Structures are given as C-alpha cells and as structure tokens.
Amino acid sequence: MMKTPQLGSRLLDISRPVVMGILNVTSDSFFDGGRYETETAIVARIHQIVEEGAGIIDIGAYSTRPGATDVDEREELTRLDAAVELVRKYFPEVPVSIDTFRAGVARDINRCLGPVIVNDISGGTMDPDMFGFIAETGLPYIMMHIQGTPQTMQKNPEYRDVVEDVYHFFEKRIQVLNAVGFDNIIIDPGFGFGKNLQHNYELMNRLEVFGKLDYPLLVGISRKSMIFRLLGTSPAEALNGTTVLNTVALLKGASILRVHDVKEAVEAVKIVAQMGDLPFQPV
C-alpha cells in the first residue's frame, strides 16, 4: 500500500493526484527565469498558483537547467527565505516545498519558517549531510534521480537500462533512509536530469514500474526539452506536449504533477479522474 507523506502533524492528502505549482525565484531558469524576482511578482505568482488549484507550492532558488551556473548557499537561502515567508503570509495553509540539495539551506528554512517538503534533485548524493538532516527532522523528502550534476548531467548520459538503473538507485537510497528509521519519502525519476531524449521516453513508457516501490510518485516534465526538442519547437510552445505527458503520467500512477501551468494540469487531473482510470473515485 502506498505510503502517505506527513508534513509536521498533517498528512498530505494524495488520495487523488496533487498539482505542485512551480515558483522559480531565479534569474536563469530555462522557462521562467527572471520573472519572479520582485516581491510584487512573487506575490502575484503565489496567488495565481493557489487560485488555479495547486495543492503544493514548490519554490526554487537554484537553477538546475543543464549547464546552469552555481549559486552560493547564502544567496540561495536569502531567495528561498523571502519567498517562503510570503507564502506563509498569504496562504499559511498551503504546503511549501523547497527545491534544494543543500541540507544547511533546508535546516535554516525549517528552523525559521516551519516544516517544509524538501525537494532534492540529487537524492542525497550532492550533500552528505542531507540524509542525516532528513532523518533528524522527519520532513517529507522528494528523492529525485540525477546522473551527474546540473553542470555535467547532459554530457552524454549512459545507462544499461534506464528504468532498471533508476529503479535500483531508489531501492538503494531508500534502504539507507529506512535503516535509520525514515520513511517519509516521495520519489521522482528525474526527467531531463542526466537523460537523453530516448531515456526520458523509456522512463515515461514504463513509469508504472516505480509503483512497486510503494511511495508516492512525482513527475516533473513541464515544458522540458523532451517535449520541445522532439517537436522542434521551444519551451514557450511546449504547453500542449506537457499536458499530453502529464495525462500519460496520471494514467501510469503519478501522485504529484510538478508544473509551471497549474490550471491546465488541474484540468488534466479532473478529466482523467472522470474517466475512472485512476485509483481514486471522481469527485
């Protein structure tokens, strides 16, 4: 039976798929970099995400696009702190996820602003302190798979079998956390993170395999290159492809969709639910 994540004293309801709206407070994200750097713009984006129906807000202050430049820890923390504080001010009931691989950043946010979901693109491989911090605090942990780092991940990624390799990565990392009594995990196969076009579609085609791990599955393919490179377009023109793949992901068991375009993802969830192809009853 799939485990239910817990944020503080609150269980996160994933009895039906949840849409996670992206708030990037960076200058160089591949799609919306630089749009949300002022308080006015950030507040407007927060309101948009909530009003369009997202159940979680995911805040990122470190661009993880291929080849992105490094951001020092202090700058990342400053950006995240300001954005999380604004969510707490206007929508204190909305769960917040912070997109960081740094245990020190997560620790400061948790201490100053309360419990958050930690969304770690590295699955604990880029900061040796992350698993200890997660086990200590019990915060919900999104464990993503990546091959390499954001600076190197798209330099000829190779797998024996991408689905089996990513699955075994999760098995091993989950065992490490389970061994210290931690089980508050969400898994993310990491579309576009150290995967070429073929790898990404192999993962999507066999996505249901990850259901055997019995943890909620997060899928983040919003406007990514696996869409616009296949279609010969651009991130700005990739909304239709994003909706198609989000629908496929839902049919294959995704519990959380991480997206830039909340309204369209919420509509996809409602339509697929109405068709009765997901393990929950239509509302």
User: Which of the residues are catalytic?
Assistant: 224, 258
The b-or-e profile of 128-137 (16+ CB within 10 A means b, else e) is: eebbebbbeb
Measured CA to CA, the distance from residue 100 to residue 64 in angstroms comes to: 10
Measured CA to CA, the distance from residue 88 to residue 104 in angstroms comes to: 20
Measured CA to CA, the distance from residue 170 to residue 121 in angstroms comes to: 13
Question: Radius of gyration of the chain from Cα atoms?
Answer: 17
Query: Which among 130, 105, 259, 122 has a CA at the least distance from the CA of 188?
Result: 122
Q: Side chain identity at 71, as an amino acid letter?
A: V
CA neighbours closer than 13 Å in the CB half-sphere of residue 21? 23
Q: Give the pairing type, strands 117-120 and 141-144.
A: parallel
Contact 196, 233 (CB under 8 A): no
Q: What is the DSSP string of 88-149?
A: HHH-TTS-EEEE-S-HHHHHHHHHHH---EEEETTTTSS-TTHHHHHHHH---EEEE--SS-
As a three-state string, the secondary structure of 238-266 is: CHHHHHHHHHHHHHCCCCEEEECCHHHHH
